[in-house]
Structure 1
Amino acid sequence: MLIIEVTNARDVVRQRIGRLGERLIGKVVDPEAQVEKALIQELDTAFREFGIEARIVSVQGPQLVGRQQLELPIQVRDDRTVTLSDE
């Protein structure tokens, strides 16, 4: 199992929407959700190219504490199953 924590979501969204939109970060735009959505799409494409089937879940809540602890609870934001067949 992999856990990927995006640590610069605000910076990524800020770069994409510019200075004017910067004021909206946290009010209208959820930077973590936006970056995770884009990342899920990229992972989906890459996994299909490599023949990997997987379930990618975007959750809100868990936080890494140091290197040895993961705090929960979680709230699922997005859930995608990558399959190789076109069902």
Structure 2
Amino acid sequence: MLIIEVTNAREVVRQRVGRLGERFIGKVFDAEAQVEKALIQEMEAAFQEFGIEAKILSVDGLKLDGSKSLDVQLHVREERDVYLKNE
């Protein structure tokens, strides 16, 4: 199992939409959720290309505490099952 923590979501949004857009998006959208959604789409395509079937979850509430431990209170934001495409 892999766990990927996006640690610079606001910076990614700022690069994509600029400072003014980031301020607006920060009020309306969750930058972390938006970056994770884009990342899931890219991972899905890559997994299919490599023949990998997987379940990808975007969750809120999972925190790394710095001592190689997780504090777990999960809220699933998005879930996607990745299956191989039949050609």
Deviation digits for residues 26-67 of structure 1, max 9, x if unmatched?
311211000000000000000000000000000001100114
Q: Does 1:21 align with 2:30?
A: no
Taking only aligned residues, the RMSD between alpha carbons, in angstroms, comes to 1.2
* Higher mean displacement: 22-31 or 52-61: 22-31
Deviation digits for residues 62-82 of structure 1, max 9, x if unmatched?
100114210010100000000
- Tell me the equivalent position of 2:4: 4
Spell out structure 1 runs of 4+ moving beyond 3 A. Answer: none
Q: With the length of structure 2 as denominator, give the TM-score of the two structures.
A: 0.92
* Offset at residue 24 of structure 1 (A): 1.8
Unmatched tracts of structure 2, length 5 or more: none
Unmatched tracts of structure 1, length 5 or more: none
Q: Give 1 or 2: higher helix fraction.
A: 2
Give the alignment of 1:58-77 within 5 angstroms: 58-77=58-77
Q: C-alpha distance in 2, partners of 1:63/1:14? A: 23
Name the amino acid aligned to 1:21: G
Q: C-alpha distance in 2, partners of 1:12/1:31? A: 8
